[in-house]
Structure 1
Amino acid sequence: MVYTAHHPPTPDREDLRARIPGWGVDLDPRDRPSVPRERFDPDATGAHWDLPPQQPERVPRERSIEHSRLTPVFGTSAPLHGPSGALRRLAYRRFSEGRAAHWLILLGADRVDATLAHLASFATLHPDNPVTQTGIRAELTHGGLASRTGTTRVDTRHAWMDPILVGGPWVLGAAVVTRAVRALPRRR
């Protein structure tokens, strides 16, 4: 009956207060502890300053083409570097943040950065371990398949391709290295 034109009459406050225990306890402003903070002032922002001082930009930073300047404070802990940094600069220089191309280039830059980090790990004493660091072992020992069957989880639709996407590059890389090592004696 609520969604029809014949809406029942709205009961008055006293009727609701008599019928429902605790109804309307916050109607009286004196009963609300937050009333002093509930002043309606549309011009107040709650900030105690006009604009913070601008952080110096020692190295050129990426910025959206929609904005004429950087925010007053910005992060510098992970400066852009290498091919992934070039892709990120391209995304910010050429495309608006409202365009899919901007975000797809940023996603691609993340993949390039991850791939280069994996490759760089082979030059160290502790290279990446694809079995433990990609979650393959946890899938086998902690009920990975059982947690996806008989449920309404959305990720079950792409679960079949996860081993290919996660383990595939490692298998392909191992095959390339094996082939290269086998080809060395033939060249000599």
Structure 2
Amino acid sequence: MVYTADHPSTPDIEDLRARIPGWGVDRDPADRPSVPRERIDPAGTGAHWDFPERQPELRPRERSVEHKMLTPVFGTTAPLRGASGTMRRFAYRYSEGRAAHWLMLLAADRVDAIESHAQSFLGLHPDNPITQTGVRTEFTHNGLRARRGTTRVDTNHAWMDPFIVAGPWVVTAAVITRAVRLLRRG
């Protein structure tokens, strides 16, 4: 049984042998070197709990298709919201063993970052690209000197970093400038 200290019931051995070719070839303890470690004794390990009280689910949560229920306790600090939340909900329709599941979750993280940047511009405290992207530390903590003459792997893509980090800020500034000019003309 999932999430309990109870050991699940063992199916009938003859039924398993008939259903699964080769099942039970290692049933003889003499053939298995790990037998001494295969004790199911919760008291011997110090594990002494039963199924804990379930945390109330106030909002619908994303659920993996591999598990029949949520864990008894789960995080609620970052509830799903916006387009990124919709993408995450959609990703959980796929098995965790498929690339589509993880790629959609990665894409949802990028969308969430864009949503957060846009939300910061609408609020009273916009993001500061100089301090929050690490540009200032490049000058105050020997950024360029730390990359010269070393075998650091990140030197291969260092030329792209200004475009990746500053690119979205430049594009956003250009869009805002264009919008302001259009509003002044209109």
Q: TM-score, normalised by structure 2?
A: 0.72
2:51 is matched by which residue type in structure 1?
L
CA distance in 2, matches of 1:182, 1:54: 56
CA distance in 1, matches of 2:53, 2:145: 54
Q: Which runs of 5+ in 1 are unaligned?
A: 1-38
Which of 37, 42, 56 in structure 1 is aligned with 2:39? Answer: 42
Q: Summarize the alignment of residues 73-152 of structure 1 with structure 2, pairs less than 5 Å apart.
A: 73-93=73-93, 95-152=94-151
2:62 aligned residue = 62
Structure 1's 146 and 71: CA in aligned 2 closer, same or farther, altered over 3 A?
A: same
Q: Which runs of 5+ in 2 are unaligned?
A: 1-35
CA distance in 2, matches of 1:162, 1:104: 22
SS at match of 1:122: helix
After TM superposition, the runs of 4+ consecutive aligned structure 1 residues lying more than 6 A away are: none
2:159 aligned residue = 160
Question: Which structure's relative contact order is higher, taking Cα pairs within 8 Å and 6+ residues apart?
Answer: 2
Aligned-pair identity in percent equals 66
1:134-179: per-residue Cα shift (whole Å, max 9, x none)?
1111112221121122111111112111111111000111111112
Root mean square deviation, CA, Å: 1.8
CA distance in 1, matches of 2:72, 2:125: 40
2:129 is matched by which residue type in structure 1?
P
Q: Which has the larger radius of gyration?
A: 1
